[in-house]
Structure 1
Amino acid sequence: MEETKHEYPADKLGYVDEKNIVDNVDLAEDADNENSRIEAVRLVVPITDDPTLAAITFRFWTISFIFSVIGAVIQQYYFFRSTSGTFSIYFVNLVSYGMGKAMARTLPMRSISIGSFSMSFNPGPFNLKEHALISIAVNTAANAAYAIDILSAMDLELNHRIGTLGALLLLLTTQCVGYGMAGVLRKYLVYPAEMVWWPNLVQVVFFNAIHNTDEFKSKKMVRGWSYMKFFWVVSGVLFLWEFFPQFIAPIFGYIDWICWIKPFDYNFWAIFSSISGGGVFSISLDWTSIGGSTLYFPLYAMLCNFGGNILSYWILLPALWMTNTLGTKAIGHPLTSKLFHVDTSAPFNITPYLNPDYSLNEEKFEAEAGAVKMSPMYAINFFLSFVALAGCVSQIICFQGPQIWKAWKSAISGDEEDIHTKMMRVYPEVPQWWYGLFYLIMVALAIVTCECYGLELPWWALLISLAIGWVMTLPIGAMQAITGFQPGLNVITELICGYMLPGKPIANMVFKCYGYMSMYQCTTLLSDLKLGHYMKIPPRSLFIAQFYGTVIGAIINYYTMILIINAHRSWLNGVGQGDPSGLWTGYNVQTYWGSALIYGALGPQRMFSNAGGYGFIFYGFLVGAIIPIILWALSKKFPKVSWEKFNIAIIAGGMSAYPNGYSMGILGGTVTAILFQFYLFRYHKAWWQKYTFILSAALDTGAAFTGLFIFCFLGGGLSPKLAVSMPSWWGNHITAEGNNAPYLAVDRCGAAINPDGSQNWTSGTTL
């Protein structure tokens, strides 16, 4: 049968004004209806489609199942390992391409039938749409589900399992309830051209390059290479290089060069160490600390994020430390999420003050502990989290609200409709009632799960957690789609539950999980719907693939967790002496459980009242809400200034990076963003269009492959017998005892002894 292809003319009008192109998104831009109003999308997303290509095929079911199982096992495996890693979706994309092509050559050209349903074993050449759909299904499966934290904490800390059915219901409902919300929000967050969802552009370029579509056949890279040859060369080079910062010479990832001037000075350690302190002017030669998103995320968003990092890591932290504000030096560590006794500044352990049901023993706590405190930077982190949440809502309402509303009405009416939305009308849409019914089923199952399996969360509290997700998903999703950044709901959900249900740490964990995941999974589906928009995947096929991958991932996550806990319980629950090889750890579980004890047992009423000293954090809501309004007013007074580019939500998000993550990527990330999103995008646009997205994919893939290889082989991931230890040399300086003595870490920064003669401690101290 002759291929039918719908072609659409290239844009006839000019591009975005040169003064604004570095920001990529201009919601007020007038553009041609026959191509996207967003220039980056125009440059890389083809406007051709072949509606005859099947997306759900026998090859899709087979390949996606294999990689969904593998990905879910590996990600759950990483959850309990001391060495972190990521199951690269580009690895899946590459290998699945080879498998799909092989199946297309070898499978018989006949069909299987079940009743009226029929499917061909081999419908023809392995095509672009089924390849993209495999990637989407695997991406939803290859995660360690957030609810695994709850099940693991109850198993390891309470020695209690709620049963297989209850566990699977908890996993499925927390992972799927957000999907029902996507049906309502797709009109706002998928159809409008302004909702870009930036990482999808990398996927679009990758899939078109590997399938050598018409738009990419004529494009040649350096030395006449094809897109995929360029991808393999760059990815291979980085794969080899990454063995240095990730294994051979970790110091290349933590070049804290200022600290080397006085490596055993206590203040230098706190300010210049990128592992334990602010990492001021730290340099990293590890690509994983920079990331491919710096090449294509909007420049103003990247600068807001890195600007927030600099304000916190490089300015605020040194100021607090050197002035010893709020007893920062007495705590002994500038960055930690631990609690401390007010009088002695010794780490606080909440366990002795808990009743058998894990509620707080008020009398014992008041008599023996009295009050506790947190590090100043950790307290400020809560304040900034509230600034980011309120700022996100206010920013979207003030600056993007009118444009989103106008774009939505245009998408619905067909006036000034985005070309990709117009092309997708060829395919039957998922009916609204599918999403509505799916959501009601998931909510009903969630209520049954909470009420019948001892999770301590009453049905009305569950509905409140889901309501939080509903209220926050639109502004958070809009900000993520436009800028690539989003604030989280972790802090606000656990605080709200702490006020509603004091003394119930299990309920706190469950409330936080449902509230956060309803938003997170909804935005995940919306992002995939946008990828389907760009790739012209039928919406119903996409919905099926998402749900299919989620179910497989949840089931595999659960059974992998059970196998690991059964085999290594004494190493994971902190009762034994730990894994002698240092490969297995229960740190993630302990952190999640510790947070539930603080907010569920100790309670935010005690920690965040004015009497407790941290009442100021709630002013973050006011600050976050007011700043965008002020900027909006200024934009009316001085319209030539792009006030909306000063995004307080992203800035606050960058500032509240504590205590997670290291700061060595700030300098490199900032330089990379300016190079690609300002200089190359403005002055060498043809080069930017040709190389940026495939380069980003190649660099991220090479780094991810190195991490996966080290984990599986050199790190003993497949078998402890394969584990290899790098000999000690100046690039790692690891002693026979497994530490960096006399330094605190591999960055060669910091004395092991405090000025008062006491032993320094790390952020791994138990709660």
Structure 2
Amino acid sequence: MTESHEPQSEKDIYQLEKADAGQTVDLDEDEPENSKIEAVRLVVPITDDPALVCITFRFWVLSLLFSIIGSVIYQYYFFRVASGSFSIYFVNLASYALGTGMARVLPTNKFTIGGYSMSLNPGPFNIKEHAVIGIAVSTAATSAYAIDILTVTDLFLHHRVNALGALILIFTTQCLGYGMTGALRKYLVYPAEMIWWSNLVQVVFYNAMHNTDEFKTKKMIRGWSYMKYFWVFCGGMFVWEFIPQFLAPMLGFFSWVCWIAPFDFNMWGIFSTYYGGGVLGLSFDWTSIGGSTMWLPLSAQLCNFAGVIVSYWIMLPIFWVLNTWDMKTFVRPLTPRLYFSNGTRFYVQDFLNDDFSLNEDLYEAAGDKAMMTPLYALGFFFSFVALAACVSHVIVFNSSTILKSWRSAVGDKNEDIHTKMMRVYPEIPQLWYAGFYVIMLGLSMMVCEVYGLQLPWWGMIVACILAWLLTLPICAMTAITGYGPGLNVITELVCGYMLPGKPIANMAFKCYGYMAMAQCMTLLSDLKLGHYMKIPPRAMFVSQLWGTIVGGVFNYVVMIAIIDAQRPFLDGTVDDPAGLWTGASPSIFWGSAQIFGALGPQRMFSSDGLYGYVYYGFLIGAILPIILWVLSKKWPTVPWHKINWAIIAGGMGAYPNGYINGVTGSLIVCLVWQCWLYRYHKNWWSKYTFILSAALDTGAAFTGLFLFVFISGGVSDKLKFDAPSWWANYVFEDGNGEFYAIDRCGSSGNWTGGLP
């Protein structure tokens, strides 16, 4: 018999690959089979206990509690000037403490509901139970994209979709990706090459917490435990945030350069962090900085900061001083609002029919056409650059990896060790996913037809086809490289040509087309986390669906409460003098709907118009990474691949609504943590960074929630208290104040035309 030299196992393949790469292979013959991906091999255990129960009474209680808190906080910050988040690290820590406590005190009695029996206390709080709680909460702790549609129609079109229609819209946009997830899981979850890098951090975190000896013996500063360290810094940030968020909001918009000449129009336009370009502005509000600056890759952050600095700290001042494209005519340098050429506000509502479609005759009779501010128009150009540059960068720098992973994903006979280990659990039948997808698609068509969203059934089909075509390659790139483009601008563009003059249809098409891909990506990433943690697929499905339902309900409840309490500040009728509440996010969403939907890309971006240049963004974005690739061939020792034009372009268009108050602080934190601590004190960095980031983010988020519920009247007008008036809490009343806004920069009434 002829001796075969073909590799017979995954270990043989791994050895050959390492040898081909010139790396030393030193594997013991008795070493157990493991992943061929080094990072996964280092952090993901290859052990499992199938007897561990995931869906328990503790799961239902804790996932409900934290899902409510997370969805409320995210929805709250949707309407705030300063952004915030609900840290999953806090959920992991707090659910661990509460879960272990419940395991000690709950009785072991069983209860039965409809033939389903469950024990109140099935035993010790285990790692799988812990992980499904985190997965449910991460699914819930967001602001559903459909909230944008509901907010826009309520604030700007004065039409509130009833509760039933609103909830169906939220659930269908969030759940349409489930069916896609089922069809794509074997390509984007099961292969070892589909790493989904962010999950590795979670795997380490869960395993560290449940390794009892290490978790309890590893001490922090002053001998504190992990939990004590977390709560001390979380509590400290909770107290501190009352100053910039309530007592002294000027510290959130510290326009110190503007104070040199606060009533100079040019100084205001360039340096005001509230209404202007925010150059060199500071913020002492942690929600404007964020804990991710402490641990995100340095090269990616520097690319983002480079884009922001070039666009807002260099281009904007030059455009403003030279009055490029009549920038000063619109008074505010950064806003998503539309204007006439003389600088007066353009309200598309004045040109809509009763069904909210554009009345073309009325619009043409107006003579003057709608215009964007220069940097808002450039924002669309930058988004096209980012999309094309992302695809081009991956092709020229990662093509070999992608092709290899693609072949593995569609036909490799050598399964990943973790995929083999998951065979012990019953899989969810593909028919379940297909049936769920059909139901969600039918409900999506129904809600668009019945509730006046202007999107016909065939338009929904086109949105789904677009999502199906682009989800697989985009998610594959994200799983392998950690970055993938979005579909929001592309969906707007396609629908704008397909259904011109229909702004609500454009929002609905964008929401369904974009969210089908985005939600599918989120669910696939969670499935990979479940894959690493050896969580049964059916438990994964239950946790994901449960989080989606709870999050959607409380997103809607909080949205209604905030709109009813803060409507004048959100719809632009009145600017919040305290600088806390804003309708910037829905304004951007509505501005895009006007541009791509009501007016249509044929008008706004015609080749002979003012903004025809935006389409060149596709060409420029495709070429720039190729130039870097050519340079990498000539000077291979230079890490050209770290210059990512997709991230740079994303930074250049990151602030279409202004409020550039956190850039300087974020840059300082990034440089301190990534350039100094990581380089010279790596042990300290690895020990404290992630837990400190989680503590600070969580403390700041809880301050905002506390203020909303108990101070600012979010629940009831009876619970509304004004902060004392002093120099750091300046508020003008009836336009008679000396300064225009909270950053004490700009005149409240000396400039011709005032501020729109």
TM bucket by the smaller chain? 0.7 to 0.9
1:740, CA displacement in angstroms? Answer: 9.9
Helix, strand or coil for the counterpart of 1:119? strand
Q: What is the aligned partner in structure 1 of residue 746 from structure 2? A: 750
Amino acid at match of 1:758: T
Of 286-295 and 513-522, deviating more is 286-295
Q: How does 1:526-565 map to 2 (within 5 A)?
A: 526-558=524-556
Q: Structure 1 residues 739, 726: closer, same or farther in 2, change over 3 A?
A: farther
Q: Is the 8 A contact 2:93 2:227 kept in 1?
A: no
Of 135-144 and 317-326, deviating more is 135-144
Q: Structure 1 residues 260, 115: closer, same or farther in 2, change over 3 A?
A: closer
Q: What is the aligned partner in structure 1 of residue 222 from structure 2? A: 223
Q: Is the 8 A contact 1:188 1:404 kept in 2?
A: no
Distance 2:211 2:734 in 1: 49
Helix, strand or coil for the counterpart of 2:312? helix
Residue among 465, 473, 478 paired with 2:471: 473
Q: Is the 8 A contact 2:249 2:578 kept in 1?
A: no
Distance 1:385 1:713 in 2: 40
1:134, CA displacement in angstroms? Answer: 1.7
Distance 2:566 2:680 in 1: 58
Of 512-521 and 683-692, deviating more is 683-692
Distance 1:688 1:48 in 2: 29
Helix, strand or coil for the counterpart of 2:371? strand
1:159, CA displacement in angstroms? Answer: 6.1
Helix, strand or coil for the counterpart of 2:729? coil
1:77, CA displacement in angstroms? Answer: 6.0
Residue among 427, 431, 441 paired with 1:443: 441
Q: Is the 8 A contact 2:81 2:580 kept in 1?
A: yes
1:558, CA displacement in angstroms? Answer: 4.7
Q: Is the 8 A contact 2:397 2:629 kept in 1?
A: yes
Q: Is the 8 A contact 1:574 1:586 kept in 2?
A: yes
- Does 2:719 correspond to 1:725? no
Q: What is the aligned partner in structure 1 of residue 706 from structure 2? A: 709
Amino acid at match of 2:754: N
Q: Is the 8 A contact 2:336 2:587 kept in 1?
A: no
Q: What is the aligned partner in structure 1 of residue 11 from structure 2? A: none
- Does 2:245 correspond to 1:251? no
Residue among 349, 352, 365 paired with 2:350: 352
Q: Is the 8 A contact 2:276 2:658 kept in 1?
A: no
Q: How does 1:275-354 map to 2 (within 5 A)?
A: 275-342=274-341, 344-354=342-352
Q: What is the aligned partner in structure 2 of residue 271 from structure 1? A: 270
Q: Structure 1 residues 454, 704: closer, same or farther in 2, change over 3 A?
A: closer
Distance 1:123 1:191 in 2: 30
1:606, CA displacement in angstroms? Answer: 1.2
Amino acid at match of 1:627: L
Amino acid at match of 2:366: E
Q: How does 1:190-209 map to 2 (within 5 A)?
A: 190-191=189-190, 197=196, 200=199, 203-204=202-203, 206-208=205-207
- Does 2:655 correspond to 1:658? yes
1:319, CA displacement in angstroms? Answer: 1.6
Amino acid at match of 1:463: I
Distance 1:569 1:661 in 2: 20
1:605, CA displacement in angstroms? Answer: 1.3
Helix, strand or coil for the counterpart of 1:369? coil
Q: Is the 8 A contact 1:192 1:408 kept in 2?
A: no
Q: Structure 1 residues 154, 718: closer, same or farther in 2, change over 3 A?
A: closer
Q: Is the 8 A contact 2:110 2:118 kept in 1?
A: yes
Distance 1:728 1:198 in 2: 48
Distance 1:452 1:86 in 2: 34
Q: Is the 8 A contact 1:209 1:227 kept in 2?
A: no
Q: What is the aligned partner in structure 2 of residue 630 from structure 1? A: 627
% identical equivalent positions: 60
1:651, CA displacement in angstroms? Answer: 0.9
Amino acid at match of 1:701: T
Distance 1:526 1:547 in 2: 13
Helix, strand or coil for the counterpart of 2:402? helix
Of 206-215 and 383-392, deviating more is 206-215
Of 316-325 and 664-673, deviating more is 664-673
In the alignment of these two chains, the number of paired residues is 734
Q: Is the 8 A contact 1:81 1:584 kept in 2?
A: yes
The alignment yields a C-alpha RMSD, in angstroms, of: 3.9
Q: Structure 1 residues 648, 359: closer, same or farther in 2, change over 3 A?
A: same
Q: How does 1:29-428 map to 2 (within 5 A)?
A: 34=34, 37=37, 49-69=48-68, 71-72=70-71, 86=85, 89=88, 92-113=91-112, 117-154=116-153, 166-187=165-186, 189-191=188-190, 197=196, 200=199, 203-204=202-203, 206-208=205-207, 211=210, 213-342=212-341, 344-407=342-405, 409=407, 424=422, 427-428=425-426
Q: Structure 1 residues 723, 163: closer, same or farther in 2, change over 3 A?
A: closer
Q: Structure 1 residues 705, 584: closer, same or farther in 2, change over 3 A?
A: closer
Distance 1:431 1:210 in 2: 33
Q: Structure 1 residues 741, 466: closer, same or farther in 2, change over 3 A?
A: farther
Q: How does 1:499-518 map to 2 (within 5 A)?
A: 499-518=497-516
Q: Structure 1 residues 306, 183: closer, same or farther in 2, change over 3 A?
A: farther
Distance 1:672 1:83 in 2: 17
Q: Is the 8 A contact 2:34 2:46 kept in 1?
A: no
Q: How does 1:486-497 map to 2 (within 5 A)?
A: 487-497=485-495
Q: Structure 1 residues 561, 400: closer, same or farther in 2, change over 3 A?
A: same
Helix, strand or coil for the counterpart of 1:348? coil
Distance 1:660 1:484 in 2: 27
Q: Is the 8 A contact 1:239 1:706 kept in 2?
A: yes
Q: What is the aligned partner in structure 1 of residue 3 from structure 2? A: none
Q: Structure 1 residues 164, 712: closer, same or farther in 2, change over 3 A?
A: closer
1:548, CA displacement in angstroms? Answer: 1.9
1:557, CA displacement in angstroms? Answer: 4.3
Distance 2:105 2:456 in 1: 55
Helix, strand or coil for the counterpart of 1:457? coil
Q: Is the 8 A contact 1:210 1:227 kept in 2?
A: no
Q: Is the 8 A contact 2:155 2:570 kept in 1?
A: yes
Distance 1:242 1:568 in 2: 22
Q: What is the aligned partner in structure 1 of residue 673 from structure 2? A: 676
Residue among 693, 698, 703 paired with 1:696: 693
1:259, CA displacement in angstroms? Answer: 2.0
Q: Deviations over 1:592-620 (max 9, x none)?
A: 44543443222221111123211110111
Q: Structure 1 residues 468, 488: closer, same or farther in 2, change over 3 A?
A: same
Q: Structure 1 residues 449, 114: closer, same or farther in 2, change over 3 A?
A: same
